[in-house]
Structure 1
Amino acid sequence: MEAAAGGGGMEVVVFPWLAFGHMIPFLELSKRLAARGHAVTFVSTPRNLARLPPVPPHLSARLRFVSLPLPRVDGLPEGAESTADVPAEKIELVKKAMDGLAAPLAAFLADEAASGRRPDWIIHDFCHHWVPPIAEEHKVPCAAFMIVQAAFVAILGPRWANAEHPRVTTEDFNVPPGWIPSPSIIAYRRRSEAEFMAAMFRVNASGVSDFERVWDMFERCRLVIYRSCEEVDPGMFSLLSDLYRRPAVPAGVLLPPVIAAAHDGRDEVLRWLDEQPPRSVIYVALGSEAPLTLKNLHELALGLELADVRFIWALRKPAGLFDASGNADGRGVLPDGFEERTRGRGMVLTGWVPQVAALVHRATGAFLTHCGWGSTVESFAFGLPLVMLPFVLDQPLVARAMEEKGIGVEVAREDDGSFDRDGIAAAVRRVMVEDQGKVLTNNAGKLRDVLADKARQERYVDELVECLRRYRHDGCQVVQVPRVLQIGSQ
């Protein structure tokens, strides 16, 4: 995997969006590039870099971290540097602050050039529409890295496709767009989901709509990298290459290292799991950025109680919700008496939880998730069936895809996105108690076995490196999709 086998190392700058669901897969990609002998510079803000997990010592010589100070923006809390630090309604202010990193990035590239370290590539995220123009001034090509499900990028569509097939009403997002071949499930089921997508056309507090960011970014990058593979998204990369007129390159699912469930007895989560029967516990985690209301939390809690199964709930603090209620740790937002009534068969944890170790533990039998792509990918590694409670962006599309693959059950929802305790309990029991759960577990295990082919997953990264070598000297014109991208699509 060293660069000597491939003709010398490259200098690569990676620059993720200021959300940990983005920074972590960018870091996983960075580690794989560094392991192949390439010099990688990971760019973010000081507080975000301080919160990243440590890098293995053998990679530290080839993976450095550069911090750019985040400008102050009116309305952002002091010290807020990621989407996890703010409520959902202020995320657009994080985008505005991030746009202020343009000048520091230009200064960094100028310093790199002066020191003889001009990058071969900048790999950036979805909203960095201002990065390619700066990179072009320094003669550095750009690639986008999309850490969402590939189907979400397909439903967004490029500028030309949206012009030919305009979506005028919210209902237009409830059916597959005209540029996706029929039949297709790539559409939003509920009005609440479609409304969120329609809002992406509107200019927000950053001064730019999300669609404009994506379109500008796609039109000026040379290729697009996806956290996926043909085994998960068969045929999707050929479609995306044709649609966006740029090579769509799968990097594999970039699974994090599997942390063994062995421990020294001090971690209460793993100690508690050790005492439970095999596959008897459902692990519950909705991320730190799900737009949860107090009513949502109550219905979820009471649904877990009604389901009468063992559970671990990683109750991460939704920014703004707990602060508003005056509860710094979040426990006060749970229904009165809930923890007492479920003591012995359930745990609610508001601090750090060793999620990977909990998911791989023999006692864990299912995962109740918001269907963020990162969490879903983690579930693939352990063959866990899913209870799915999606909210926004690609999450509803992920839920539909996992339902089609027969590895998940979605919680019943109203058209406005609301759900109740009965829907939670019914979905949990279908997966954990009823016969359907055995079928779901079997299907999830088959997918796990396919993705356990580490050599195949590593080849995706090798093929990505080859594409980076091939296209770094080309201009920004439309390029032909390489044959290597067609592997597995026959």
Structure 2
Amino acid sequence: MGEGGGGGLDVVMFPWLAFGHMIPFLQLSKRLAARGHAVSFLSTPRNLARLPPGLPEGAESTADVTPDKDGLVKKACDGLAAPFAAFLAGRAKRPDWIVVDFCHHWLPPIADEHCVPCAMFHIIPAAMNAMFGPRWANARYPRTAPEDFTVPPKWIPFPSTIAFRRREFGWIAGAFKPNASGLPDVERFWRTEERCRLIINSSCHELEPPQLFDFLTGLFRKPTVPAGILPPTTNLVTDDDDDDDRSEVLQWLDGQPPKSVIYVALGSEAPLSANDLHELALGLELAGVRFLWAIRSPTAGGVLPDGFEQRTRGRGVVWGRWVAQVRVLAHGAVGAFLTHCGWGSTIEGVALGQPLVMLPLVVDQGIIARAMAERGVGVEIARDESDGSFDRDAVAAAVRRVAVGGEREAFASNANRIKDVVGDQEREERYIDELVGYLRRYS
């Protein structure tokens, strides 16, 4: 992408093999290329010969496997070290930077052999950097019990809500334990971060606690900078687009009253049980609202409650194929977004002014949900704190509050206020310009 002549940078981008990572890496790549910098975007081909055994045929990202196989994808990714070394050695020109993801701990040593600096790009909010912390801080303030993750880390010197709830600490505690790849995720993070000159976050000052980036720069002892939120555009087109499928969804929305539909999408890899799907469906039915529910799993529709689609026909659509999410969220008929609070989906929602009904499931999603709730843009669906379960009544109550209740206007007003800030394209361009300045200064 782009041209590297005329003083432009030559940047290699290498995201983790998950679509939630590849998309922001690609968005950042496009922003850099638009400024005349040469960008090489690396990922795997459909070529099992380079992958170690253990993964299903054709599996090259986390979307291709169940969550319990995630460690095997990391092991497969580690197998890309030799091909990457060959790629770097075979380049006629040494790149100025390699931008890596959290798990590529083997890459900076290869880059060092070629005198190429690395930057770590986090596709998560900067608050999660503070939650993980560097190796030295964890050694000084060890967290040995799961309950230690339900309070802010001791290295955060200011009042903070950066913590997990009891029902969420299983994931973060698991990140400190070895998985099928042989390494804990946090060890991958530390080894990668320690060999990088910069830490970049797909975030902005406006959505983080005050002065957080300055604090993180001191905590990690290297510049930690925002790239902006890399907001979506409504004309986003991907190779997965299908004109007939896309127009069918949008045509249905065309026939609905303004701001009357809640869009429901919980990501392509949401760990929902059959009971979760039942309660979510029955909650939408009980709420009595119009809805468009995008279910990426081809089998999920088969475990919905008997008769659900028939009973809600006319006011609800369950869609099992790909959805142009940005276009849906930008449609005038959509007035709320029921989301798992993945950072990418949250950014798409707030950048388009949608109030949120939030059902965080894993990783950073709980922290993101609480940050959005603090800003008054939505509410979480009430959960059992011991096991994270929820029921139809909790779903219906949250949906009604955000989509049809007396608080609806307040949530919508707060969402639009954030939209005006994060949707400021000039502000976003300044973030990229400032990032380029860091890349030039620290190369």
TM-score range relative to shorter protein:
over 0.9
After superposition, residues 192-231 of structure 1 pair within 5 angstroms as 192-231=167-206
Superposed CA deviations along residues 362-391 of structure 1, whole A, max 9, x for unmatched, are 100000000000000101211110000001
With over 3 angstroms needed to count, the CA separation of the structure-2 counterparts of 1:260 and 1:187, relative to structure 1, is closer
After superposition, residues 41-440 of structure 1 pair within 5 angstroms as 41-47=40-46, 71-112=50-91, 116-189=92-165, 191-233=166-208, 234-259=210-235, 267-317=247-297, 328-415=298-385, 416-440=387-411
Superposed CA deviations along residues 31-59 of structure 1, whole A, max 9, x for unmatched, are 01110111100000114xxxxxxxxxxxx
Superposed CA deviations along residues 26-83 of structure 1, whole A, max 9, x for unmatched, are 0000001110111100000114xxxxxxxxxxxxxxxxxxxx8673334311110000
Q: TM-score, normalised by structure 1?
A: 0.86
The residue matched to 1:267 in structure 2 has which SS? Answer: helix
Q: Which moved more, 1:16-25 or 1:330-339?
A: 330-339
How many angstroms apart in 2 are the aligned matches of 1:341 and 1:75? 43
How many angstroms apart in 1 are the aligned matches of 2:354 and 2:255? 20
Aligned counterpart, 1:51: none
The residue matched to 1:123 in structure 2 has which SS? Answer: strand
C-alpha displacement of 1:267: 1.2
Superposed CA deviations along residues 169-220 of structure 1, whole A, max 9, x for unmatched, are 010001111011232100112x231111111111111011111100111111
Structure 2 unaligned runs (5+)?
238-242
C-alpha displacement of 1:260: 8.8
C-alpha displacement of 1:7: 6.2
Aligned counterpart, 2:432: 461
With over 3 angstroms needed to count, the CA separation of the structure-2 counterparts of 1:457 and 1:181, relative to structure 1, is same
Q: Given residue 359 of structure 2, which amino acid in structure 1 is its aligned partner?
A: L
Number of paired residues? 436
The residue matched to 1:9 in structure 2 has which SS? Answer: coil
Percent identity between matched residues is 64
Maintained 8 Å contact 1:313/1:347: yes
Aligned counterpart, 1:448: 419
Q: Which moved more, 1:191-200 or 1:126-135?
A: 191-200
RMSD over aligned Cα atoms = 2.0
Q: Given residue 452 of structure 1, which amino acid in structure 2 is its aligned partner?
A: G
Maintained 8 Å contact 2:4/2:37: no
Maintained 8 Å contact 1:297/1:334: yes
With over 3 angstroms needed to count, the CA separation of the structure-2 counterparts of 1:337 and 1:204, relative to structure 1, is same
How many angstroms apart in 2 are the aligned matches of 1:380 and 1:222? 31
With over 3 angstroms needed to count, the CA separation of the structure-2 counterparts of 1:18 and 1:420, relative to structure 1, is same
The residue matched to 1:143 in structure 2 has which SS? Answer: strand
With over 3 angstroms needed to count, the CA separation of the structure-2 counterparts of 1:103 and 1:266, relative to structure 1, is closer
Please identify runs of 4+ aligned residues in structure 1 that moved more than 4 A: 2-7, 263-266
Maintained 8 Å contact 2:48/2:57: no
How many angstroms apart in 1 are the aligned matches of 2:265 and 2:278? 15
How many angstroms apart in 2 are the aligned matches of 1:33 and 1:82? 25
How many angstroms apart in 2 are the aligned matches of 1:6 and 1:458? 21
Aligned counterpart, 2:240: none
How many angstroms apart in 1 are the aligned matches of 2:337 and 2:407? 15
Superposed CA deviations along residues 242-270 of structure 1, whole A, max 9, x for unmatched, are 11111011111111222399x99971111
C-alpha displacement of 1:231: 1.5
How many angstroms apart in 1 are the aligned matches of 2:144 and 2:103? 23
Maintained 8 Å contact 2:290/2:315: yes
Maintained 8 Å contact 2:3/2:38: no
